């Protein structure tokens, strides 16, 4: 059966994409320092030479992976279209989304951690990131203003602090899932524990933001 997208024996785009996906997995699992180029080639079913052909170096490959994951999460956030919801509903939806995204994309957290271990030196070289976030912060700022007008949110809350707080509540719990399960002696990843935590996070933010929580 002939299809429009014939599977080529040689396909630059597909190979590049496989390498990127392989790199994401490998770096997420072992960090930048612990990640192995040979292992990435293996995962991507590509020759190691191709990695250097398409990405130049291990560090540049890591930078590209980072750009991709940041672009992805912001795109998913934009797709929520929070502008069309009442402020309170929109806020709860954002909290739920952030939690679910971290839960379903654990590599996002480990990659960001790895980048911070390296003092964000790869992100510094990236040009496309800053614009991405400006839009996001102003969206949350608009959401807060709208809530104040509706009479449901307290005025004077900094959108950046709120963003950080929403992220923090989910991120910390999930990035420390392993040590946390040991020191607190309970399975933090059990379905019920996850539900409880999300409810706790929503309550924490609502009490912080709402006039009448």
Which residues form the interface with DNA (CB under 7 A)? 8-12, 14-15, 35-38, 46-50, 52-53, 57-59
Which residues on neighbouring strands pair with residue 210, listed in sequence order? 153
Contact partners, residue 82, CB within 8 Å, separation at least 6: 90, 93, 94, 139, 143
Site for a copy of itself contains 179 (CB under 8 A): yes
Which of 32/40 has CB closer to a copy of itself?
32
Which residues on neighbouring strands pair with residue 153, listed in sequence order? 210
Say which entry of a copy of itself, DNA, none residue 169 contacts (CB below 5 to 8 A, set by partner kind): a copy of itself
Residues 29-68 that bind a copy of itself (CB under 8 A): 29-35
Residue of 68, 141, 145, 175 that binds a copy of itself (CB under 8 A): 175
Site for a copy of itself contains 183 (CB under 8 A): yes
Binding mask 75-104 for a copy of itself (x = CB under 8 A): ------------------------------
3-state secondary structure of 210: strand
Which of 27/173 has CB closer to DNA?
27
Residue 156 falls in which region: left (phi positive, over 0), alpha (psi -120 to 50) or beta: left
Q: How far is the CB of 175 from DNA (least distance, A)?
A: 23
Alpha-helix residue ranges (DSSP H) falling in the chain: 12-34, 37-43, 48-55, 58-78, 87-104, 106-117, 121-124, 129-150, 159-175, 177-183, 191-209
């Amino acid at each position: 059966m002939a299809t429009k997208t014939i599977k080529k024996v040689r396909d630059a785009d597909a190979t590049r994409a496989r390498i990127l996906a392989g790199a994401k997995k490998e770096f997420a699992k072992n960090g930048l320092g612990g990640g192995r180029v040979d292992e990435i080639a293996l995962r991507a079913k590509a020759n190691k030479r191709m990695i250097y052909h398409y990405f130049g170096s291990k560090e540049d490959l890591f930078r590209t992976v980072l750009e991709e994951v940041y672009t992805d999460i912001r795109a998913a956030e934009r797709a929520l279209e929070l502008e069309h919801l009442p402020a309170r509903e929109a806020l709860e939806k954002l909290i739920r989304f952030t939690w679910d995204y971290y839960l379903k994309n654990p590599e996002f957290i480990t990659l960001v951690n790895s980048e911070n271990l390296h003092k964000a030196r790869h992100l510094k070289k990236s040009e496309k990131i800053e614009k991405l976030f400006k839009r996001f912060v102003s969206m949350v700022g608009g959401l807060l203003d709208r809530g104040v007008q509706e009479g449901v949110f307290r005025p004077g809350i900094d959108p950046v602090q709120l963003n950080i707080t929403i992220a923090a509540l989910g991120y910390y719990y999930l990035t420390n899932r392993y040590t946390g399960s040991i020191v607190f002696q309970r399975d933090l990843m059990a379905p019920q524990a996850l539900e409880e935590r999300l409810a706790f996070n929503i309550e924490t933010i609502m009490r912080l933001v709402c006039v009448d929580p």
